C-alpha cells in the first residue's frame, strides 16, 4: 500500500520528539509534524520529498518491469554497506563487547538475506510475496583518516550514554559509512522506545544526521543486553535499517489507500508496540494483516520483507545519499572491499597472494589467468594495472608505504577482490 514520503521516521509512531530524553507518547505522528522537523534542516522540504519519491516510484516500476521481462541480472544486484558503531558508556555500564556488537549486526545481515530460522514459518497468505535483499553490513576496517579500525568507537561519557547530548557530532562521513549510535537508552529508562532512524536525504547526509540511534540494551545478545538469545525484539535493528532504506511502517495511514508506498503490504491499523503474537490488528482493515513484517510493531514476530519492500529498498540504494556507500571505490577506502560481491566467479579463478604481509615484491598466482590485475591504496587510487593474462605475476611494491592495499583480478566470467599488507 502507498502513502506520502516522509523525512524522519521513528521506531514508534510517536508525536514529535525534539529531545531524545523527553518521554514519547504513542500517538500517531502527523505529516505536518514530520515536515516541521524536516524544515529544521531543509528549507526546500516539499521539493526534497517530491524528488525522492518521484525517483523511487520510477525506479521501482523499472525494476518490476525488468523482472516481468525475465531480465534478472538488472534486479538481482548485491550490496555491501560499511558500518561504524559508536558505543556510549560510563565505565562498564553499557560497555558492549565485540561479541555482542557483532551479534547485533549478524541479526541484521541474517534478516535481510532471509537466513532467519523462522523464514519458513511465515503465514501461507504471505509466503509467496516474501523476499530478501542480497546485502551485507560490514564493520569498517579503515577509518576516515585511513587508519586501521575495528569499526567500533567507544566514548566514556555518561551524558552521551543517556542520549542527553547530540550523538551525531561524532559521525563519520555519512556518504562512506552507515553510522549507528548506541547509547544505553534512546529515551530514558525504562522505555519501550528502542530506536529511531532517518530516511534518505542528502541534506541529512551533508550535515551528519543520516544514521540510526539505538538503545544498546536491545542490541544483539550479551552481558549488556536485556534480551534473551533468539528473542526477536533484537530485529528492531532490521526495522530501523528498513527506515534508513526508505521503508515506512506498514500501518502508516491505517486503512487509507495511500499507505506505505508499497503495493503488496496490506493496509492495517497499528502504532502500538505489541510484545507478543503475529496477528495483532489482524483484519483491522478487512484484510489479513502481514503481522510478521519487519516494518510492523509486533516485536516478538519479525520474519519478512515483501518483494515490494525489497524493490523500494533497492531503489533507495541508488538515491544520492546512499549510492556512494556501496561503490567499489568506497568499499576499498573503508576496508570492506574483500566482501565486494562478484557477478560470477568460477571455482578455478582463485587468487593466491604471497607473501602477505609483504615488502619489496608481492607475487600473485592464478588457477586461471586473469585479463587484468588492479592494485589500489586505501583511498581507492589505482597504483598498478597489469594486463597479465598469465598464471602468475610479480609486482614491485618497494615504493609502497606500509599499510593496507587491495587487489582486484578481472576474469572473463567475473572478478575476485582481496587485500594484502605492506610492512
Provide the pLDDT for residue 4: 33
Provide the pLDDT for residue 369: 86
Give percent of the chain with pLDDT exceeding 70: 85
Asked whether the beta carbons of 293 and 304 are under 8 A apart, the reply is: yes
SS3 80: strand
Average predicted confidence (pLDDT) for the chain: 82
Q: Can you tell me the distance from the alpha carbon of 225 to that of 373, in angstroms, rounded to the nearest whole number?
A: 45
Name every residue whose Cβ is closer than 8 Å to that of residue 45 and which is 6 or more positions away in sequence.
Answer: 7, 35, 38, 39
Q: pLDDT digits over 143-197, tens only?
A: 999 888 899 999 999 999 999 999 999 999 999 999 999 999 988 877 767 888 8
User: 8-316, which class in CATH?
Assistant: alpha beta
For domain 342-422, which architecture applies? Answer: Sandwich (2.60)
Provide the pLDDT for residue 403: 73
- How does strand 130-131 pair with strand 8-10? unpaired
- Could you tell me the residue ranges of all domains in the chain? 8-316, 342-422
- Helices and strands per DSSP (H, E), number in the chain: 9, 16
What mean pLDDT is predicted for residues 264-280? Answer: 83
pTM, full prediction: 0.74
DSSP 283-337: TTTSS---TTBTTSSBTT---BEEHHHHHHHHHHTTSTTTTTTTSHHHHHHHT-G
Angle in degrees, CA 64, 66, 70, rounded to 5? 115
Provide the pLDDT for residue 239: 93
Provide the pLDDT for residue 3: 37
What mean pLDDT is predicted for residues 215-235? Answer: 90
Cell numbers placing 313: 529498498
Alpha-carbon separation of residue 253 from 31, 225, 241, 283 (angstroms):
10, 33, 21, 15
More confident residue, 231 or 94: 94
Amino acid at each position: 500500500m502507498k502513502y506520502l514520503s516522509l523525512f524522519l521516521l521513528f521506531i514508534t509512531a510517536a508525536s514529535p520528539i525534539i529531545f531524545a530524553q523527553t518521554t514519547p507518547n504513542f500517538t500517531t505522528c502527523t505529516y505536518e509534524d514530520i515536515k516541521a522537523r524536516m524544515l529544521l534542516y531543509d528549507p526546500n522540504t516539499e521539493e526534497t520529498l517530491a524528488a525522492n519519491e518521484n525517483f523511487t516510484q520510477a525506479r521501482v516500476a523499472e525494476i518490476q518491469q525488468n523482472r516481468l521481462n525475465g531480465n534478472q541480472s538488472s534486479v538481482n544486484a548485491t550490496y555491501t554497506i560499511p558500518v561504524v558503531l559508536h558505543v556510549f558508556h560510563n565505565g562498564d555500564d553499557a560497555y558492549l563487547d565485540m561479541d555482542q556488537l557483532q551479534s547485533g549486526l549478524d541479526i541484521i545481515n541474517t534478516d535481510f538475506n532471509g537466513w532467519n530460522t523462522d523464514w519458513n514459518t511465515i503465514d501461507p497468505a504471505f509466503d509467496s510475496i516474501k523476499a530478501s535483499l542480497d546485502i551485507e553490513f560490514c564493520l569498517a576496517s579503515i577509518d576516515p583518516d585511513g587508519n586501521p579500525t575495528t569499526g567500533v568507537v567507544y566514548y566514556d561519557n555518561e551524558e552521551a550514554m543517556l542520549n542527553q547530548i547530540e550523538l551525531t557530532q561524532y559521525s563519520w562521513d555519512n556518504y562512506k559509512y552507515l553510522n549507528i549510535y548506541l547509547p544505553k537508552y534512546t529515551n530514558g529508562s525504562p522505555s519501550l522506545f528502542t530506536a529511531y532512524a532517518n530516511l534518505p536525504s542528502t541534506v541529512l547526509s551533508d550535515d551528519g544526521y543520516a544514521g540510526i540511534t539505538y538503545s544498546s540494551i536491545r542490541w544483539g545478545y550479551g552481558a549488556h543486553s536485556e534480551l534473551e538469545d533468539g528473542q526477536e525484539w533484537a530485529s528492531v535493528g532490521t526495522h530501523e535499517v528498513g527506515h534508513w532504506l526508505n521503508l515506512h511502517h506498514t500501518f502508516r495511514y491505517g486503512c487509507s489507500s495511500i499507505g506505505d508506498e508499497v503495493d503488496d503490504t496490506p493496509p492495517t491499523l497499528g502504532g502500538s508496540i505489541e510484545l507478543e503474537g503475529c496477528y495483532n490488528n489482524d483484519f483491522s482493515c478487512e484484510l489479513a494483516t502481514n503481522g510478521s513484517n519487519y516494518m510492523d510493531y509486533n516485536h516478538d514476530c519479525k520474519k519478512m520483507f515483501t518483494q515490494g519492500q525489497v524493490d523500494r529498498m533497492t531503489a533507495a540504494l541508488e538515491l544520492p545519499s546512499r549510492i556512494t556507500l556501496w561503490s567499489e571505490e568506497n568499499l576499498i577506502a573503508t576496508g570492506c572491499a574483500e566482501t565486494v560481491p562478484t557477478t560470477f566467479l568460477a571455482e578455478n579463478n582463485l587468487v593466491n597472494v604471497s607473501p602477505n604481509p609483504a615488502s619489496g615484491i608481492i607475487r600473485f598466482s592464478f588457477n586461471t589467468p586473469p585479463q587484468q590485475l588492479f592494485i589500489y591504496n586505501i583511498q581507492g587510487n589505482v597504483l598498478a594495472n597489469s594486463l597479465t593474462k598469465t598464471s602468475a605475476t610479480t609486482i614491485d611494491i618497494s615504493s609502497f608505504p606500509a599499510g593496507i592495499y587491495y587487489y582486484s583480478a578481472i576474469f572473463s566470467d567475473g572478478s575476485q577482490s582481496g587485500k594484502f599488507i605492506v610492512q
